[in-house]
Amino acid sequence: MKNLTKWLSKNLIRIYAFFAFTYLFIPVLYTFVFSFNDSRKTNLIWKGFTLDKWKNPCGAPDICSALGNSFIIGFTATAISTVLGTLIAFALGRYRFKGRSATNLLIFLPMATPEIVLGASLLSLFLVFKINPGFWPTVIAHVMFCISFVVVTVKARIASLDPRLEQAAMDLYANEFQTFRRVTLPLVAPGIAGAALLAFSLSFDDFIITNFNSGTVITFPKFVYTAAARGIPAQANVIGSGMFFLALAIVIAGQLINRRKAR
């Protein structure tokens, strides 16, 4: 009994991690396995192994146009929210001004607000100004909630910077712009890159706010939701698996680059 207790005390965290990762990756494994399913109208029952869906991921009607819309909206919202969010993060992290505390509170509101409330409120706002749901209202809605995540991420990176590095650059006769370009920006760049990746993943994955404000524009999450009624095609599993492995490759590449820099 004592040996069992000692073994559990030493390996409890490993056991917990095993079950936690198993719970997280079972849906991913299911998506990947059923991307090889030789299905026709529905992809719920295993019919046999095939590579046809990977050879032709656009085989399902409208799936690639929906994927393209998600990419365009995601990249546009990410670019806008990253620029605006980074500027706000620098303002909040480096300067003292009237209303700073209130601005910090307002930044967290989109993160704390339920998506269904935020989506319905934005739709009501667009309709008040006689703006029909569509591409640009969807981009504006995505920027609305992505900015908060960008600000929080970049602000945390700014708070961790050593101000003595910038002071040393100025002591070596660098002006403010040179100090920012050669010292501050390279140090903050990993945080900005991480914030941009987070914003894109949130935008690409969003369904509730998009469903309220996109109108006739079909994104990939909307396509999956609509297709679920008649059976999600295996091509959707192919694209989902591809996005997962792409994100995994980006994370691994980032870790390798950071290790090289640390050395």
pLDDT in tens, the chain (263 residues): 667 777 777 778 888 889 998 998 898 898 899 888 888 777 778 888 888 889 888 888 889 999 999 999 999 999 999 999 999 999 988 888 888 888 888 888 888 888 999 999 999 999 999 999 999 999 999 999 999 999 999 999 988 888 888 888 887 778 888 888 888 888 899 899 999 999 999 999 999 999 999 989 999 999 998 887 777 888 899 998 998 898 888 888 878 887 887 77
Q: What is the pLDDT of residue 2?
A: 66
pTM: 0.86
Q: How far apart are CA 208 and CA 117, in angstroms?
A: 10
Q: What is the pLDDT of residue 175?
A: 82
Q: How far apart are CA 250 and CA 256, in angstroms?
A: 10
Torsion angle defined by CA atoms of residues 251, 256, 260 and 263, in that order, rounded to the nearest 10 degrees: 100
CB atoms within 10 A of CB 29: 11
Q: How far apart are CA 137 and CA 126, in angstroms?
A: 7
Structure tokens at 19: 């079950």
Domains of the chain: 71-217 (1.10.3720.10)
